[in-house]
Amino acid sequence: MPAPTGSIRAGEDIRYAAQSRAVATGLGGLRASATAELIMRELVRTTDAVLISAIEALLNSARIEHLVVDQNMSVLEGSIGIFPRRILVGEDQLHMARRLLEDAGFAHELRPDHR
């Protein structure tokens, strides 16, 4: 996963700029590059490692791409679990991910949906 662009503040979308290169096989052998932006939305924020694992298993089984961020904060906190971890999903899969967690009984864990 590429590094996020810009600064990240709580409650904001996280934008990832992914740059891919395609080689055109025309006469000149031209190279083209394209930049695509992926907007990630916060789905869940929790300090419960078991809940994170359960939600990751659900998302993986539904083939919903996601990202768990703030896992390495334990280095700063001394591994006592006071900083919450966040699960992010792409904006295009947010509705599907929210519906999956609601159906699985995790609706109370979902972050408010501020579109």
Residue 88 has pLDDT above 70, yes or no: yes
Which CATH superfamily is 14-109 part of?
UreE, C-terminal domain (3.30.70.790)
d(CA 46, CA 111): 10
Q: What does the pLDDT look like over 32-80, one tens digit per residue?
A: 555 567 789 999 999 888 999 999 999 999 999 999 998 877 666 666 7
The helix-helix angle for 49-61 and 94-103 (nearest 10°) equals 110
Q: What distances in angstroms separate CA 76 from CA 11, 71, 72, 79, one per listed residue?
A: 21, 11, 8, 8
d(CA 48, CA 69): 14
pTM score of the predicted model: 0.66
